[in-house]
Structure 1
């Protein structure tokens, strides 16, 4: 049976790429009966019905799936944050990082507007950048009309399925407008292959960029902790995860428990105090969440 990947979903149709061809598919009713909806990014089996039409018969197991945007099998998220206008916000960045980590998606931090910040302002932000790099996060620093951006970001995108995320005004559109034309992005490839006009409806689509796939979508639209349990939260902080096995209690929440390795790390300076403060804030938010039934 033919296999492929859903690259676009629109109006009940799924556009499956199999080699060089795109097949317009419907999902079988059995998916709806089982509560399974095929998503962009899914690897599927399909049956051919005509020259360019088919029916999806099997959705293969996913490694992750997002709700907003509805997309599956994401490898990484480019978290776009500006250093100014709006100001760099470590608390908001940590919120984004935690949510991305909770979906088993690798975060890549992209800092924009580096040309609009003074040396004294940068001196205050640089320690945070160094901290995140020390934790293990990859960071790209850029600005509008940055001639090095494509060279810096191309290796990051290669071989990966990526999405963009970031608050309004941080430069996501500028980044896309810089990178995508430079990489000869063919946004209309599916429409051309199927002989149909381009749709203006907002939708999720995976487009080929520098030997990788990038979601042509506004990106994450929700960064709450609705899907994160309190026991899971600390695993979304890599530096907590690295030492938590040494905690005395297996389900240690790292608040006041004796012989807590995370608290010891905070006291020694190995774990940054502001990161721990953010963790406590997020944990309080989860504890105050209304119960789910």
Structure 2
């Protein structure tokens, strides 16, 4: 039977099916109450892992989650990311792992999330202009971070990072039809590192794929639920974080945790990824 929980860093237990908050509207106006309601419904459904980032609205996403959920339930983990900047709202985001920038974004995250400690903080991207050891060392030395993770890295970069700090999580693009980062997942499995796939469902392809549709029909599930159930069954370290701004989609995603694939279904779905 597929395990429903995972201990990030060996001690921080969360339910494996999380929620990505990136899609939630953060602007003032008619959409904001609905966004707050989605975040609150995620917790009501038993989700204990919510992903956000400094980049999402320049911190507005963090503020939205705090407005919706603070004071936080004891078992809720909100993980955020740092390491991207832009000089003004009209400019493009760019990599920036300079120690001063990382320290400032950590402080902003603490303030916006209304916490004194970020239990899991991930480096949004590695800045090639700043030595990786300096980026990770800065986060390690902040004293306000419980665990450090990475995002969109290769297996080689993960190995290099682990020479400087203990890595608790990796957040890479990965789903049923896109397994480019399978070597990174394998490395995470071997080290017991949480693997948080972003874009865990390819919406158009998974709904159109005949094999996925057939499996979904047999299980009386949706294609999205099948794609998420496959992730949960594929590796015990995978913690999908599907995102949505709609409560009905959130409930559909959360229900994927109860979908049980048979060995025959797994064999069909395992064959679907395009050759890398």
TM-score, normalised by the number of residues in structure 2 = 0.30
Higher CA-based Rg: 1
Q: Which has the higher strand share?
A: 1
Q: Which has the higher helix share?
A: 2
TM-score, normalised by the number of residues in structure 1 = 0.29
